[in-house]
Chains A and B, each alone.
Chain A
């Protein structure tokens, strides 16, 4: 929005324009903050990020200290607010430690997928012809598998573990970002500003990364945020199947797998709380992603 000097007499007729100039991102941020559900999402995400970053520093995980066989499967009490598990470990402490695995893998997998996917998409859209056909063919093949199935198959082959599940989840979500980046390129590459840049002799790579790529940032940001939610569900699923984080390290999905054995003995706390942590984190990222979409969608920009 152009700024008009406050002394201009145009102001008398168009007082709306007197609003101070704001950048696109600042504008989006204000809209995001104005959204109640998005604020809730931010609060949840910040809370779990705090757990994931601070807890491992404050009290590094130590399986020996953690295990306390005298206090097996205690019901929630003042000493153990969420009870203890079959090895006498405090469930709340383990959930707090588990945040690192879920958020770390979620963020890591999505970042990796965004970088690779966006690069492939940009190249695909810009190069066109056979390069485009080939890259999109590869993406179609990846999309021919239900996401979790492919992740399971990949982990089954490269071996279980947290890092390997991150790789698997990442591979599965590459096509999404490739498609977004490609469609941005395709819709922009015939536009005047690209032709203009080309005419003044700007290199292709510069046009691609400095002129075209920034336009795909907002859909990728929205998709990425929602993608973290999916990735957290997938890492929990792999953990539940025993393909993710290996014992004794805490991970929410693996904790749920352990709780199955004590289901019939009525130990509801080992079942309820880890699942609730997963749900809350995923909900947080979903709310944030929805909020970002509303805030960044230019069609809704009418203020």
Chain B
């Protein structure tokens, strides 16, 4: 097992180096001078020179990359051009909001998707099966920002039951510690704020969780169907086991594997989706920050956030792979 883990770790290193090169060359691939583009045509020569200096554009390219890489390894992703804030600090401040949203979305996806998939498989061909697979099929075809907007329209504009966006009602101040507001408010005993943050989390989590939910439901169903037709399930039935025991103890245990993989594969989708969801719901995470930075042409932020998300993505995939090998011994001995 340890050998496998080490091997997997080693394959990730060159990929990360490649990723850093690609992200580094992003800013250099912009046609024209990056400093002029960022500051606009009317910028003074002095300011342009200052930004060029700050971006390190005056040095030879290999030296620039080396500086970028060694800084990144020390956790320094550069400084925002407009606000002069260190990108890393800002990521640390904003990322918990993205994590909170993403975790809530995964929770929605799992809690609804897995039972729906299991019931569909057991009651194959029933109205529940047809209906939930129809929902799943439309679910994967829906643009999530549209779903988000429709939820806002229905629950906030028409029914007035949930807020349109943000993490807390405007005007509420709360000194967060971990910046996972649901956790922070609960730990500090602010029950009213806890419910308030939950209400704010509801719609974005549903919007972001719907596509993974649909995919997980379909995967659970097909995986369960495959397992349910196996001989040992017939044996279990023949032994006189209760339906419940057969499904949960025998079938589900073996149907898990493909489901785990699919959940892992959804992480990339969730991170991409978070960019859109955060934009729709004015959620102050790194996704929305990235979009804002693109429009203000603040390239160090774009560069830093892109690199950061890619690292997270690669890291999660690594964990999923290892987890998978842990659950299924066949993989590590390949």
Looking at B19, B149, B273, B290, the one whose CB has the most chain A CB atoms below 10 A away is B149
B141 within 8 A of partner (CB):
yes
Q: Of A141, A152, A236, A275, which one neighbours B150 at CB under 8 angstroms?
A: A275
Residue of A nearest to B147 (CB): A275
- How many residues on A have C-beta within 8 angstroms of the other chain's C-beta atoms? 43
Interface SS, A side:
helix
Task: Given A152-B294, A263-B157, decide whether A286 and B137 contact each other with a Cβ distance below 8 A.
Answer: yes
- Quick one: given A145-B306, A147-B268, A147-B272, are A278 and B143 in contact (CB under 8 Å)? yes
A271 & B140 in contact (Cβ 8 Å cutoff): no
11 A–B pairs (Cβ distance < 8 Å), ordered by A: A144-B18, A152-B291, A158-B29, A229-B141, A240-B279, A264-B157, A271-B146, A278-B143, A279-B141, A283-B138, A283-B141
B287 to A: closest C-beta gap in Å = 9
Q: Is the CB of B143 within 8 A of A233?
A: yes
In the docked arrangement, what's the CA distance between A259 and B172, Å?
28
How does the 8 Å CB contact mask read for A265-290 relative to B, with 1 for contact and 0 for none?
Answer: 01010011011001110110011000
Residues of chain A contacted by B149 (CB below 8 angstroms): 256, 259-260, 263, 271, 275
Say whether A241 contacts B143, CB under 8 Å.
no
Name the residue on A nearest B267 (C-beta): A146
- Which residues of chain B come closer than 8 Å to A221, judged between CB atoms? none
Q: Is the CB of A286 within 8 A of B140?
A: yes
Is there contact, CB below 8 Å, between B26 and A157? yes
Given contacts A240-B276, A266-B157, A275-B150, contact A146 B290 (CB under 8 A): no
Q: Say whether A194 faces chain B, with CB atoms less than 8 Å apart.
A: no
Query: Which residues from chain B contact A263 at a C-beta distance below 8 Å?
Result: 149, 152-153, 157
In chain B, residues 1-31, which have Cβ atoms closer than 8 Å to a Cβ of chain A? Answer: 14-16, 18-19, 22-23, 26-27, 29-31
* Stretch of B173-181, B182-190, B308-316 contacting A (4+ beta carbons < 8 Å): B308-316
Given contacts A256-B149, A264-B157, A279-B138, contact A145 B294 (CB under 8 A): no
Contact B15–A271 (Cβ < 8 Å): no
Q: Which residues of B have CB within 8 Å of A145? A: 19, 306, 309-310, 313
A137 and B143 contact, CB distance less than 8 A: no
Residues of the A chain whose Cβ atoms lie less than 8 Å from the Cβ of B164: 264
Q: Please report which residues of chain A, range 115-161, place their CB below 8 angstroms from some CB of chain B when the two chains form the complex.
A: 137-138, 140-141, 144-150, 152-153, 156-158
Chain B residues within 8 Å of A259, by CB: 149
B248 is an interface residue with CB less than 8 A from chain A: no
A residues within 8 A CB of B93?
none
Contact of B146 among A138, A256, A264 (CB under 8 A): A256
Q: Which residues of B contact A286 (CB under 8 A)?
A: 137, 140-141
Which residues from A are CB-within-8-Å of B271?
146, 149
Residue of A nearest to B269 (CB): A146
Is A219 engaged at the interface, CB distance under 8 Å to the other chain?
no
Does B68 sit within 8 A of A, measured CB to CB?
Answer: no
Tell me, yes or no, whether A237 is within 8 Å of chain B by CB: yes
Interface pair A146/B272, CB less than 8 Å apart: yes
Residue of B nearest to A138 (CB): B18
Flag whether B168 is at the interface (Cβ < 8 A).
no
Using CB atoms and an 8 Å cutoff, list the residues of chain B in contact with chain A: 14-16, 18-19, 22-23, 26-27, 29-31, 137-138, 140-143, 145-146, 149-150, 152-153, 157-158, 164, 267-269, 271-273, 275-276, 279-280, 290-291, 294-295, 302, 306, 309-310, 313-314
Q: A157-B29, A266-B157 are in contact. List 18 more A-B contacts (CB 8 A).
A: A137-B14, A141-B18, A141-B19, A144-B15, A145-B19, A146-B271, A149-B309, A157-B30, A233-B143, A237-B143, A237-B276, A240-B143, A241-B291, A242-B295, A264-B164, A275-B150, A278-B146, A282-B143
Q: A41: shortest Cβ distance to chain B, in Å?
A: 10
| Closest residue of B by beta carbon distance from A37 | B137
A114 within 8 A of B: no
Tell me whether A237 and B302 are in contact (CB under 8 A): no
Most chain B C-beta atoms within 10 Å of own C-beta, residue among A138, A158, A233, A268: A233
Instruction: Assess the B275–A152 pair: CB atoms within 8 A.
Output: yes
Whether A283 pairs with B153 at a CB distance below 8 angstroms is: no
By a CB distance below 8 angstroms, the chain A residues around B19 are 141, 144-145
Complex CA–CA separation, A149 to B310 (angstroms): 9
- Asked whether any CB of chain B lies closer than 8 Å to the CB of A227, the reply is no
Q: How far is the CA of A140 from the CA of B302 in the complex (A)?
A: 21
Contacts of A91 in B (CB 8 A): none
